[in-house]
Amino acid sequence: MTEVLILGGTAEARTLARKLDDAGIATVSSLAGRVQNPRLPVGEVRIGGFGGADGLADWLRTRAVRAVVDATHPFAAQISTNAVRACADAAVPLLRLTRPAWEPGPGDRWVPVPDITAAAAAVAQRGGRVFLTTGRQDVGAFAGIDDAWFLIRVVDPPGGPLPPNHEILRSRGPYGLDDERALLAGARIDLLVTKNSGGEMTRAKLTAAAEAGIEVIMVQRPIEAAQTRQARSAPEAAEWVQTVLAHR
């Protein structure tokens, strides 16, 4: 029997898997498989999709899952939507574990936009030297912009169309403040494009941008299901899991 399914791929998901393992709770961590050589959590791991909400609900029943924690990336909207429906169909308690969003502070020059298409439109209006950190799946939205230069930071190389003027920087966080300051200055960046992912692993770029007076095109998070119970940290999620298991 699988006691807990963790929809993972984030640092919070890995921390939760370790805490539950330490408590003797059996978990399966599910990764989407979009990143080559991902960081793996402790415990059982599965990679790949479930076949939509119906497939996930069937999997939950087959494995007799007692609780689900959706600890996917804040922008993984489809799997989160599927999890809400699947857990309702299979009568399995669901918790959404997501890190708090970033908030602008003194010195920040943020331009909030609703989605990646709007971010590309904002870049097209401005041009300049752009630091693009939205992930490889979104790079294609900027492919038609020919009057800007892009430094595109990704873990794995993009597979689709690219802007005509660009450089690919492959790296994986966390990133330190001094390194981000040096990168922005060395590449003469005057515009940063990112998603409001939250967390500390990649926050330093925002601090460095604020210090340098660099404008930030900030893609806002998708709206999540209001009925889903929320947790903001792995310890909070672990406590919820233990409470659920004690009563099921």
Q: Is the pLDDT of residue 166 over 90?
A: yes
Per-residue pLDDT tens over the stretch 149-158: 999 999 999 9
pLDDT score, position 101: 94
pLDDT score, position 159: 87
- Provide the percentage of residues in the chain whose pLDDT is more than 90: 85
Q: Could you check whether 4-100+223-246 and 110-219 share the same CATH topology?
A: yes
Q: Do the Cβ atoms of 11 and 229 come closer than 8 Å?
A: no
Alpha carbon 211 to chain centroid distance?
Answer: 25
Q: Is the pLDDT of residue 2 over 70?
A: no
DSSP string, 6-73: EE--SHHHHHHHHHHHHTT--EEEEE-S-SSSPPPPSSEEEES--SHHHHHHHHHHHTT--EEEE---
Per-residue pLDDT tens over the stretch 209-241: 999 999 999 999 988 766 679 999 999 999 999
pLDDT score, position 127: 96
pLDDT score, position 32: 83
Q: Judging by beta carbons within 10 Å of its beta carbon (0-12, 13-18, 19+), is residue 185 exposed, middle or buried?
A: exposed
Q: Is the pLDDT of residue 76 over 90?
A: no
pLDDT grade for 117, boundaries at 50, 70 and 90: very high
Q: Do the Cβ atoms of 168 and 184 come closer than 8 Å?
A: no
CATH class of the region 110-219: alpha beta
Domain boundaries, the chain: 4-100+223-246, 110-219
Q: Partners of 231 in the beta sheet?
A: 97
pLDDT grade for 37, boundaries at 50, 70 and 90: confident
- Rg of the chain, C-alpha, whole Å: 19
Q: Is the pLDDT of residue 83 over 60?
A: yes
Q: Tell the CATH topology of 4-100+223-246.
A: Rossmann fold (3.40.50)
Q: Is the pLDDT of residue 27 over 90?
A: yes
